[in-house]
């Protein structure tokens, strides 16, 4: 039997537009996660720079192997905790809303670019990624990456489930009044795909945005293993493969699918 994976969810960020403060905070949080036995620390969307920062996103953007990665790599190696962090990635003249997985040795293992851009807030600043399923194995656990708005598309999460993701990690910057995304949709996504889902949101105010917090680790039956409130928190809990096996033994949504009946077009006309 695969051992549970202990994960830490960091609901909070450093000062917007100030990567140095965010790195200081990340170092402290990684140490706290390590002290609590966590093997993986997940931070919010654009956690190293801030999200609602306008043209600062382009100024602070850097290549995936730039100074921000070097700093996070040292933190991961020093604390022995794998880290998922968000940053603006500069590549081929474009800026992407990216998240990166760095393992406990400080090596980069995966990079995901947000594929579903949220309104003008995203589209004015970022290019969309074009690779939906990005995964990394941590021991026997297959971890998938999405960012914020991506999880609101059932196709995105189902694609991960069909590709074998067992823990879907979703760094987020969900603002009010959209609390139902965190409290209703996220548990439903975990349950209908019978996977664990770590949804890690901001909880502060940034410009004209008020983030709602409500980070959660949800089990494959929709049960909330961890749930934060509206204020800063570091939540630590276990992803237990036995829960996935039990859920799928009782009722297999993936196994009972009938893809031959799902003939709706992949795209639909705009309303």
203 an active-site residue? Answer: no
Residue from 28, 62, 89, 114 carrying the catalytic annotation: 114
Domains of the chain: 5-261 (3.60.110.10)
**Three-state secondary structure call for residue 251:** coil
| Alpha helices by DSSP H, 116-153 | 119-123
| Alpha helices by DSSP H, the chain | 19-35, 56-60, 67-79, 119-123, 154-162, 179-180, 186-193, 241-250
CA distance 102 to 136: 10
| Alpha helices by DSSP H, 102-238 | 119-123, 154-162, 179-180, 186-193
114 an active-site residue? Answer: yes
What is the chain's pLDDT, residue by residue, as a tens digit (271 residues)?
Answer: 689 999 999 999 999 999 999 999 999 999 999 999 999 999 999 999 999 999 999 999 999 999 999 999 999 999 999 999 999 999 999 999 999 999 999 999 999 999 999 999 999 999 999 999 999 999 999 999 999 999 999 999 999 999 999 999 999 999 999 999 999 999 999 999 999 999 999 999 999 999 999 999 999 999 999 999 999 999 999 999 988 888 988 889 999 999 999 876 656 555 5
In angstroms, the first-to-last Cα distance of the chain is 49
Residue from 148, 152, 203, 206 carrying the catalytic annotation: 148
Cα 250 → chain centroid: 28
């Amino acid at each position: 039997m695969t051992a549970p994976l202990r994960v830490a969810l960091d609901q909070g960020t450093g000062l917007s537009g100030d990567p140095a403060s965010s790195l200081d905070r990340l170092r402290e949080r990684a140490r706290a996660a390590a002290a609590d036995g966590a093997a993986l620390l997940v931070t919010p969307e654009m956690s190293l720079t801030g999200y609602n920062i306008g043209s600062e996103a382009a100024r602070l953007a850097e290549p995936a192997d730039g100074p921000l990665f070097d700093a996070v790599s040292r933190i991961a190696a020093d604390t022995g905790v794998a880290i998922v962090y968000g940053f603006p990635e500069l590549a081929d003249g474009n800026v992407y809303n990216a998240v990166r997985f760095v393992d406990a040795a400080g090596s980069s293992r995966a990079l995901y670019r947000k594929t579903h851009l949220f309104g003008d807030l995203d589209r004015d600043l970022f290019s969309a990624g074009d690779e939906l399923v990005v995964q990394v194995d941590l021991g026997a656990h297959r971890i998938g990456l999405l960012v914020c708005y991506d999880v609101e598309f059932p196709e995105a999460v189902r694609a991960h489930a069909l590709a074998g993701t067992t823990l879907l990690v979703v760094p987020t910057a969900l603002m009010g009044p959209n609390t139902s995304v965190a409290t209703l949709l996220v548990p439903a996504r975990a349950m209908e795909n019978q996977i664990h889902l770590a949804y890690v949101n901001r909880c502060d105010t940034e410009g004209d945005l008020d983030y709602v917090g409500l980070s959660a680790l949800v089990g494959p039956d929709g049960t909330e293993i961890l749930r934060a409130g509206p204020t800063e928190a570091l939540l630590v809990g276990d992803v237990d493969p036995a829960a996935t096996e039990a859920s799928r033994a009782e009722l297999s949504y993936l196994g009972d699918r009938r893809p031959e009946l799902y003939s709706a077009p992949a795209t639909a006309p705009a309303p």
